């Protein structure tokens, strides 16, 4: 289990120590996008996931009902807005509205994966900034606070006119990689835009050296890797990114690292979006030693492959939820 520095601990599997608030006032509810993650979070906190009904009418409209009293409660709605993004986003908005109308004291949207995060700025004329639009929708729906993990860009946190706690999946991955006792590690950013993320990860990996892949895009979901800045020959290269979508960027990067003499190549990303043809690319024999992701997005068995390793972020999210409920520091988890 990933551990965090704190004077107040949650016992794994349930039971709060030094809890200042009434835990009977904390409620967890899951949407349909990742109920297993909600179950794991509930096990960590010792809180039973709340009953709710989510169904569709014949015309496709959603119906949601919270099936217990939440008057005066701190409600945490756990819903990554992964594919189908629009359905899961709308489901979250309706859940928020239902909780507001049920007189919840505070509603927190726990969004392990924030859909539309890549549309965070205008790159051409007449484009929308959809990441900001989604933030506006959540605020207008009645959310009091957002808990997100590994947002695609840091500025998205500022898109919210309400508190937004931003946590990271890297401690879980660092714990796992440290247990592997890898030798001669070099952390690699798959593009210049990810250097800050890779540098922070390298620092957590006992100040491992850093390399950068110079990459240029010729279109959406199309990437061309050009060269490697840094020494990777004979080393274990760890490619780090916030998400893997079609796998084009990270797979081209891995091939380039192999050409430059890397002994092993591992890929690490918090969000396993895995749009086609990601599975075929990532499972190519001899390319990756391992592909390490988290369960922020559910991965059914048909989307898994031999090199894949899925790590749970339930304990980390559970810790953050508890700290929000206790009105204590979330950022100190990562010090």
Residues 151 and 266 grouped into a single domain: no
- In this structure, the answer to whether residues 182 and 87 fall within a common structural domain is no
* pLDDT at 335 (0 to 100): 77
Q: Check whether residue 83 and residue 189 sit in a common domain.
A: no
Best CA proximity match to 221, nearest among 196, 250, 199: 250
Q: Of 216, 218, 221, which Cα lies nearest the Cα of 275? A: 221
- Examine the domain organization and report whether 148 and 183 are in the same domain: no
What is the torsional sign of CA 229, 234, 235, 240?
positive
Residue range of the domain that includes 39: 23-168+314-334
- H or E element: which one contains 249? helix 248-259
| Number of domains the chain is built from | 2
Residue 6 lies in a domain: no
Residue-level pLDDT at 328: 95
Answer whether 279's CB lies under 8 Å from 302's CB.
no
User: How high is the pLDDT of residue 221?
Assistant: 62
pLDDT for the residue numbered 9 = 41
266 and 161 housed in the same domain: no
Q: Could you tell me the CATH number of the domain that includes residue 199?
A: 3.40.50.2020
> In the prediction, which pLDDT does 14 show?
39
Number of neighbouring beta carbons within 10 Å of residue 162: 13
Residue 4 resides in a domain: no
Q: Is residue 17 part of a domain?
A: no
In this structure, the answer to whether residues 304 and 206 fall within a common structural domain is: yes
| Candidates 215, 235, 255, 264; catalytic one | 215
302 and 319 within one domain: no
Our answer to whether residue 140 is catalytic in this structure is no
pTM for the full predicted model: 0.91
Within a domain: residue 16?
Answer: no
Which residue do the tokens 């890929």 mark? 267
Residues 154 and 174 in one domain: no
Residues 143 and 153 in one domain: yes
Residue 257 lies in a domain: yes
Residues 6+ apart with CB under 8 A from 277: 246, 247
- What is the pLDDT, as a whole number, of residue 224? 62
Task: Reduce the DSSP state of residue 258 to 3 states and report it.
Answer: helix
The pLDDT value recorded for residue 18 is: 38
pLDDT by residue for the chain (335 residues), tens only, comes to 445 433 344 443 333 433 444 577 999 999 999 999 999 999 999 999 999 999 999 999 999 999 999 999 999 999 999 999 999 999 999 999 999 999 999 999 999 999 999 999 999 999 999 999 999 999 999 999 999 999 999 999 999 999 999 999 999 999 999 999 999 999 999 988 899 999 999 999 999 999 999 866 666 666 564 799 999 999 999 999 999 999 998 999 999 999 999 999 999 999 999 999 999 999 999 999 999 999 999 999 999 999 999 999 999 999 999 999 999 999 999 87
């Amino acid at each position: 289990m990933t551990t965090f520095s704190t004077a107040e601990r949650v016992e794994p599997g349930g039971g709060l120590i030094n809890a200042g608030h009434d835990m009977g006032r904390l409620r967890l509810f899951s949407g349909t996008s990742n109920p297993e993650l909600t179950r794991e979070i509930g096990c960590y906190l010792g809180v039973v996931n709340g009953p709710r009904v989510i169904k569709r009418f014949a015309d496709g409209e959603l119906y949601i009902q919270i099936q217990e009293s939440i008057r005066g409660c701190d409600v945490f709605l756990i819903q990554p807005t992964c594919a189908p993004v629009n359905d899961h986003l709308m489901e979250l908005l309706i859940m928020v509205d239902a909780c507001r109308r049920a007189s919840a004291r505070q509603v927190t949207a726990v969004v392990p994966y924030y859909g539309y995060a890549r549309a965070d700025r205008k790159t051409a004329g007449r484009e929308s900034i959809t990441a900001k639009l989604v933030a506006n929708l959540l605020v207008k729906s009645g959310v009091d606070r957002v808990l997100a993990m590994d947002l695609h860009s840091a500025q998205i946190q500022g898109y919210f006119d309400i508190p937004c706690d931003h946590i990271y999946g890297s401690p879980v991955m660092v714990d796992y990689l440290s247990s592997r006792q890898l030798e001669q590690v070099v952390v690699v950013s798959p593009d210049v835009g990810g250097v800050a993320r890779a540098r922070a990860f390298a620092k957590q990996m006992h100040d491992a050296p850093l390399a950068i892949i110079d990459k240029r895009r010729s279109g959406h979901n199309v990437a061309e890797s050009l060269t490697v800045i840094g020494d990777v020959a004979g080393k274990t290269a760890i490619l780090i990114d916030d998400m893997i979508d079609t796998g084009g960027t990270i797979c081209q990067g891995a091939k380039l690292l192999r050409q430059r003499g890397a002994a092993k190549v591992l890929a690490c990303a918090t969000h396993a979006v895995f749009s086609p043809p990601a599975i075929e690319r990532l499972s190519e024999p001899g390319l990756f030693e391992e592909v390490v992701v988290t369960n922020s997005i559910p991965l059914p068995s048909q989307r898994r492959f031999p090199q894949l390793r899925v790590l749970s972020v339930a304990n980390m999210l559970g810790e953050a939820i508890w700290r929000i409920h206790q009105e204590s520091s979330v950022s100190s988890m990562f010090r």
